[in-house]
Amino acid sequence: MIQNDMLTKLMELDFISLDLGLFLNTHPDNTEAIDTYNQVITAADTLRLKFEEAYGPLCSFRSFAADTKQWAWINNPWPWQKEANISLAGKECL
């Protein structure tokens, strides 16, 4: 999986977890939603770790910096620069 594909999938998983979390706020006894939420969180965490191992940290406050001798958060490109962000042009919505 290439960098942009990984970021897109991670955004999808994070959106699903956020949406399920909101659903669970009003349906706290829905075991199917709880199971799905836990699966999505696990998948997102796994993908986030794979991404950070390959491309560096996504957030300055994650534990990635503790495992290295170099402070990689300052490496280019910066999050607000165009080349640091994926393009969704031409992608179909799910």
Phi-psi domain of 45 (left: phi exceeds 0; alpha: psi -120 through 50; beta: other): alpha
66-84 in b/e form (b: 16+ CB < 10 A) is eeeeeeebeeeeeeeeeee
**Has residue 92 been placed in a domain?**
no
* Residue 16 confidence (pLDDT) above 50: yes
For the stretch 31-40, pLDDT in tens is 999 999 999 9
The whole-number pLDDT of residue 13 equals 96
State the average pLDDT for the chain. Answer: 80
DSSP 70: S
Which is more confident, 89 or 9? 9
Phi-psi domain of 56 (left: phi exceeds 0; alpha: psi -120 through 50; beta: other): left
In this prediction the pTM is: 0.66
**Has residue 55 been placed in a domain?**
yes
**Has residue 93 been placed in a domain?**
no
**Has residue 94 been placed in a domain?**
no
**Domain range holding 77?**
3-84
**Has residue 91 been placed in a domain?**
no
The structural domain count of the chain equals: 1
What is the CB neighbour count within 10 angstroms for residue 18? Answer: 11
**Has residue 12 been placed in a domain?**
yes
The whole-number pLDDT of residue 90 equals 58
